[in-house]
Chains A and B, each alone.
Chain A
Amino acid sequence: MPRHIVRLLVLMVAFVAVAYGAKRYFTVDSFYEYGHYRGGSVADIASDKPKYKGNANCQPCHAEVFAQWSAGIHNSVDVGKAVKCEVCHGPAGGRDSLGMFVNAATGPDHPNNLKLAIPTDSRQLCTLCHEKMTGRPAQQRQIVVADHAADQQCTLCHNAHSPRLGLVSAASAAPAPPRGDAEQGKAKAEVCAACHGPEGVSVDLPGPTLAGQRADYIVASIKAYAGGARDNPVMSPVAQTLESADADDLAAHFSGLKCESSLAAAPPKPAAICVTCHGANGQSTILAAPNLLGQSKDYLTATIAAYKDGTRKNDMMAGVVKNLSDADAETAAAYYVGASCKRD
């Protein structure tokens, strides 16, 4: 065989050997293990640390609020809806401080070295899902934010964990038994009769009806007058003379007087907003709201006006009455006047 052909053949064999060797040397072992890719990369990718840890991670430490959530509308598993803890509070596993990709087993975890956010701006957060929006399906509860809440925070009226509940859970809405003594209260109440009526029922008198009012609300009101949170030229000096025990006794007395609602009609539209807290029959449904039954129309409209112009201060009421026109206020008041005290 001619020498130049032999050289050519040797060269070719050498090339093949070098190419083969290089390929073996530079290709990782797991390449072609499962296909045309590095088999080891599958386990690499799978080894990343999950950041969203799920509700089960929250329950052990936050049992009370978790129970509230699981009983509420934000956990409607039957219709396939559940706003889980981490949707609002963020993930319980830390995002890696190094940033992109290097996320194998780094980053802090709640509760160690990672505090979860307690959202402060509920208007911003809740409206992500509940703002009226083109494209949002009809079954989703939606509000026109400006009409519904003006500039109030959602959490003023809604319990974020169970939005259909008032701020106080339904269980505590039943009034606590009055602490004072009703008999003593009756004796002390003589001075009240001038304005609040002899049996606590005010008819054409300047004070509101007290019969059947929640004891805790009466105590709170007296304290508010005494402390200056509420101001009335007649009531404030009277309240300042009362001891704490006196207030309890008076509350026990007045709350024990019979005053039942005779109201059965459906509330008109402007009053519908009141019903949520003050009840359809004037009997309040949440701890923070007083009963309205037995009040005069003048008293109710004056109170709404006072909330509106800011002379009486309450964050929740301020938001509620803000969008109530004078005519609407009249209608709402007229509705609750129907709930007069029914006496035996």
Chain B
Amino acid sequence: MSDKTKPETPELERRAFLSCLGGALACGAAAAATGVVATEATAAAPATAAGPQPPAIPGYDWTQHRWAFGVDATKCIGCLRCVEACKIENNVPEDAHHFRTWVERYVTLEGEETARIDSQADPVNIAASGSESAYRFADRYKDQKVAKAFFVPKLCNHCTHPACVQVCPTGATYKTEDGAVLIDHTYCIGCQYCVQACPYGARFFNEARNVTEKCTWCYHRITKGLLPACVEVCPVGARVFGDRNDKDSAISKFLRDNQVQVLKRETGNAPNVFYVGIDKDVI
């Protein structure tokens, strides 16, 4: 563009036109830069100096924390208290179709090679609990020969490279400094691209509010020094939560003492929920 802005023969009309056009484009670009880039620049400028002020959360500085979650499937008893606590804590619709966290059961019968999977949302299990808003596993395999069986709690993985954030057209979902992936419900337009982008099925669409919802690691609790509700109520310590910046935290210890794995590593999302005691069938 710059070479076109040097008019050597102004008497040539075409060249004059091109130079004018080039100048106009340069002006436009400059204007756009002040419009779009400048806002980023002004935001970025203090970042190099002192950094923007962290969000106004009383007594909490998000630059000081790096949250992570651990699940020990060898301890989970499938009591589903976490699912109920999550629903209450986060006002999740009380039915069998909307869950921010849920528990899956993997049962391999003798002679079979792949696991049978059911969750609390399975009709048989709903029948056992008697209601869609009460959660209980049915002992449906008691008359069969079971080779292997275990429970796996699932939730949003709060990935380091979240696909859901990448596809959001409005900036309604984002990753915070301290590691949580959150949804700004006032900016969510309900397009559900993120629901489809998530490889873990961790997001659901709330038809009543026309927005997408997901686990926040109980961001309103962890910023007050509390544990997420599901971790708070887990009676067997199958769920672990903590700050990786703190070497003595439960999650640091969990990651140090166990050989952990993440779900669907090959998608490149780099989850921050770490699992112990799951096998090949768990996806």
Contacts and interface: CB of A to CB of B under 8 A. Distances in A.
Interface of A: 1, 5, 9, 12-13, 16-17, 19-20, 23-24, 27, 31-52, 54, 74, 80-84, 86-87, 90-91, 95-96, 99-103, 128-129, 131-137, 140
B172 A46 contact: no
Contacts of B223: 46
A40 B149 CA distance: 45
B182 interface: yes
A129 B79 contact: yes
B217 to A, nearest CB: 11
Interface centre among A84, A96, A132, A133 (most CB of B within 10 A): A133
A31 B172 CA distance: 10
A86 B182 contact: no
A129 B233 CA distance: 13
Contacts of A20: 31-32, 34-35
Contacts of B187: 37-38, 41
Contacts, number: 186
B52 A135 contact: no
Interface in B14-63: 16-17, 20, 24, 27-28, 31-32, 34-36, 39-40, 43, 52, 55-57, 60, 62
B60 A128 contact: no
Interface string B228-253: 01001101110000000000000000
B271 interface: no
18 contacts: A31-B171, A37-B173, A37-B184, A38-B171, A45-B216, A46-B55, A46-B219, A50-B221, A51-B229, A52-B233, A81-B237, A87-B235, A99-B208, A100-B93, A103-B91, A134-B146, A137-B74, A140-B77
Contacts of B60: 46
A52 B89 contact: yes
Nearest to B187: A38
B75 A80 contact: yes
Nearest to A55: B232
A87 B216 contact: no
A266 to B, nearest CB: 31
B55 to A, nearest CB: 4
Given A20-B35, A33-B43, A135-B150, A54 B235 contact: no
A37 B32 contact: no
Given A54-B226, A87-B233, A101-B209, A133 B137 contact: yes
A260 B206 CA distance: 70
A67 to B, nearest CB: 19
B142 interface: yes
B136 interface: yes
Given A23-B35, A86-B232, A12 B28 contact: yes
A100 B91 contact: yes
Contacts of B16: 1
Contact of B233 (A13, A17, A38, A86): A86
Contacts of B55: 34, 39-40, 42-43, 46
A283 to B, nearest CB: 34
B85 interface: yes
B259 interface: no
Given A39-B55, A45-B220, A81-B235, A132 B74 contact: no
A86 to B, nearest CB: 6
B279 interface: no
A193 to B, nearest CB: 55
Contact of B107 (A19, A49, A134): A134
B248 to A, nearest CB: 16
B174 A37 contact: yes
Given A13-B27, A81-B237, 19 more contacts: A33-B52, A36-B174, A37-B187, A38-B184, A41-B186, A48-B220, A81-B236, A84-B235, A86-B85, A87-B81, A90-B88, A91-B88, A128-B81, A134-B146, A135-B107, A135-B149, A135-B151, A137-B75, A140-B77
A51 B107 CA distance: 34
B281 interface: no
Nearest to A103: B91
B121 to A, nearest CB: 16
Nearest to B151: A135
Contacts of A12: 24, 28
Contacts of B136: 128
Contacts of B92: 100
Given A46-B220, A100-B208, A16 B31 contact: yes
A80 B40 CA distance: 47
Contacts of B226: 50, 52, 54
A93 to B, nearest CB: 9
B56 A51 contact: no
Contacts of B57: 42-43, 46-47
B194 interface: no
Contacts of B43: 32-33
Contacts of A13: 24, 27-28, 31
A262 to B, nearest CB: 43
Nearest to A27: B39
Nearest to B176: A42
Contacts of B218: 50
Contacts of A86: 85, 232-233
Nearest to A91: B88
A95 B84 CA distance: 12
A84 to B, nearest CB: 7
A171 to B, nearest CB: 26
A40 B224 CA distance: 17
